[in-house]
Copies of this chain bind each other. A is one copy, B any other.
Amino acid sequence: MHSLTAKLIAQHLDKSASITLHKQLYSAIRQCILESSLVADSRLPASRDLAKALQLSRNTVLSAYEQLQAEGYIYTQRGQGTFVNKTQPRNPQLTQHELTSSLLYSSEVQLSKRGEALLQHASSLPTQWTALMPGAPDVNAFPHILLSRIQSRIARQPKLDQLIYSQHGGSTRLQQVLAHYLASARSVHCEPEQILITEGIHQALDLVTRMLCNPKDNVWLEDPSYWGTRAILRMNDLATHAVKVDDQGLVPPAQGHLPNPRMIFVTPSHQYPLGSVMSLSRRYHLLSLARSLGAWIVEDDYDSAFRFSGTSIPALQGLEADAPVIYIGSFSKTLYPALRLGYMVLPKTIAQQLKTAHCELYHGGHLMLQDAMAEFIQNGHYASHIRRMCKLYAKRRQHLIGLIEQHLGKHALGSYNSNAGLHLILNLASNKDDIAIAQAANEQGILVRALSKYYLHEKRVKGLIVGFANTPVEDMEKAFSQLLQCIDNPQYTEPEH
Contact = CB atoms under 8 A, between A and B. Distances in A.
A265 B170 CA distance: 30
Interface string A138-154: 01101011011101100
Given A291-B101, A357-B115, A158 B144 contact: yes
Interface in A218-265: 228, 231-232, 235, 237, 248
B322 A340 contact: no
A17 interface: no
Contacts of A388: none
B163 A152 contact: no
A416 to B, nearest CB: 11
Contact of A152 (B151, B214, B295, B339): B151
B288 A360 contact: no
Interface stretch (A306-314, A390-398, A484-492): A306-314
B347 A72 contact: no
Interface in A321-367: 321-322, 324, 336-340, 347, 349-350, 353, 356-357, 359-367
B166 A338 contact: yes
A73 interface: yes
B362 A118 contact: no
B199 A199 contact: yes
Nearest to A367: B338
Contacts of A212: 111-112, 115
B288 A102 contact: no
Contact of A280 (B89, B119, B127): B89
B72 A280 contact: yes
A338 B115 contact: no
A71 B129 contact: no
A235 B280 CA distance: 38
Interface size class of A (residues with CB under 8 A): 35 or more
Contacts of A309: 63, 66
A109 B349 contact: yes
A320 interface: yes
Contact of A285 (B90, B206, B284, B321): B90
Given A212-B112, A360-B123, A90 B281 contact: yes
A56 interface: no
Contact of A353 (B111, B142, B228): B111
A349 B228 CA distance: 25
A455 B141 CA distance: 53
Copies, count: 2
Contact of A363 (B114, B149, B228, B285): B228
Contacts of A101: 291-292
A319 interface: yes
B366 A366 contact: yes
Given A118-B357, A119-B357, A367-B338, A107 B145 contact: no
A118 B360 contact: yes
A382 interface: no
B72 A102 contact: no
A98 B288 contact: yes
B136 A145 contact: no
A211 to B, nearest CB: 4
A460 B117 CA distance: 40
A63 B419 CA distance: 11
A107 B340 contact: no
A165 B320 contact: no
A242 to B, nearest CB: 20
Contacts of A350: 109, 111
A105 B322 contact: yes
7 contacts: A71-B281, A90-B288, A104-B324, A112-B213, A126-B167, A145-B155, A148-B156
Given A99-B322, A122-B356, A148-B156, 6 more contacts: A70-B277, A73-B280, A85-B281, A112-B214, A122-B359, A235-B361
Considering the complex of A and B, which 10 residue pairs feature the smallest CB-CB distances, nearest first? A72-B279, A148-B155, A338-B365, A67-B310, A71-B280, A340-B365, A115-B211, A139-B163, A72-B281, A89-B281
